[in-house]
Structure 1
């Protein structure tokens, strides 16, 4: 499996050892506010973990667990997925990028650093023309990060009863 490193983070595909950290993270109000709107149940966290593990097994890419490079503590997740979401209108036919970091490390550049590693890996190992992300228009921090990563507004959609922004990023040739 693919492990990536920078001075501050180490990233590896999710494994069963991440269940506890995911369970703790997905009940934090600041984490779920703009994503699910409510804490995830234990079976929802389990399904999310299986989704991440399965992506790597079936597609050769997915989300990485982001760990502190020094302590090994779980900081969150970043990566790529194929997500057939029920949006109106439908999402573009491309891989979806995403990031979710623990509040204790938000606004410290960790997500940007981790996504730069992820995109460097994708540019070398995948043949994607573009990726997209789906962000609540109220999630200003995530929209700011998307802009720093080179995403451009693409379209507005309705997802889970509310508005969402679809942003698009052209990948390196």
Structure 2
């Protein structure tokens, strides 16, 4: 059972830290090219999903943040995932999100990613959060802009132009004085 303080509710969604009970849903999502082809590392094997889930469960215990299963607030249906994880390229803690194509277009990615971003700055105390999107992934770029992230860097990965977005927490007056 995860810490209730790690759960987040929005107007239409409930974000719960991923756990072993989510394995089947995560395997279905992460092995589906419609949902995961544009994610870092691309479509996963079942074995890689198991490894990632173990890493995600450990991250919650060690860091107090990680990846959430995104569920309908009233239905409990698994809609996708969002969360915060260290990028393997050392760019920092990154916001990630992937929802089933069937639920896209209703603002749910924006709602889930925005909640994860607020949690990262507020509860987890992260000063800077990044997100990376393919330059041609206009849907993800729209979500990132809508939640207040700004483009700050470009790079090329496997001949594909990539854009880095960031969100920097505002410092309070007390933090700024010294």
Cα contact 1:34–1:138 (8 A) shared by 2 = no
2:156 to 155, 158, 162: 158
CA distance in 2, matches of 1:38, 1:80: 17
CA distance in 1, matches of 2:25, 2:42: 17
CA distance in 1, matches of 2:118, 2:41: 31
Cα contact 1:14–1:65 (8 A) shared by 2 = yes
The CA RMSD over aligned residues, in Å, is: 1.8
What do residues 55-109 of structure 1 show as CA deviations (whole Å, max 9, x unaligned)?
1012111111111111111111111111222xxxxx53x3111111111111111
Q: Which residue of 2 aligns with 1:144?
A: 142
Structure-1-length-normalised TM-score: 0.87
CA distance in 2, matches of 1:84, 1:39: 17
CA distance in 2, matches of 1:84, 1:148: 25
Q: Shift of the alpha carbon at 1:40? A: 1.6
Which has the larger displacement, 45-54 or 112-121? 112-121
Point out where structure 2 has 5 or more consecutive residues left out of the alignment: 172-178
Partner of 2:152, secondary structure, is: strand
Q: Which structure's relative contact order is higher, taking Cα pairs within 8 Å and 6+ residues apart?
A: 1
What do residues 109-162 of structure 1 show as CA deviations (whole Å, max 9, x unaligned)?
111111222233233323222211111112110001011011111111233453
Q: How many residues align?
A: 167
CA distance in 1, matches of 2:87, 2:108: 24
Q: Does 1:124 align with 2:128?
A: no
Q: Which residue of 1 aligns with 2:176?
A: none
Question: Which structure 1 residue ranges, 4+ long, deviate > 3 Å from structure 2?
Answer: 36-39
Point out where structure 1 has 5 or more consecutive residues left out of the alignment: 86-90
> Which protein is bigger by CA-based radius of gyration?
2
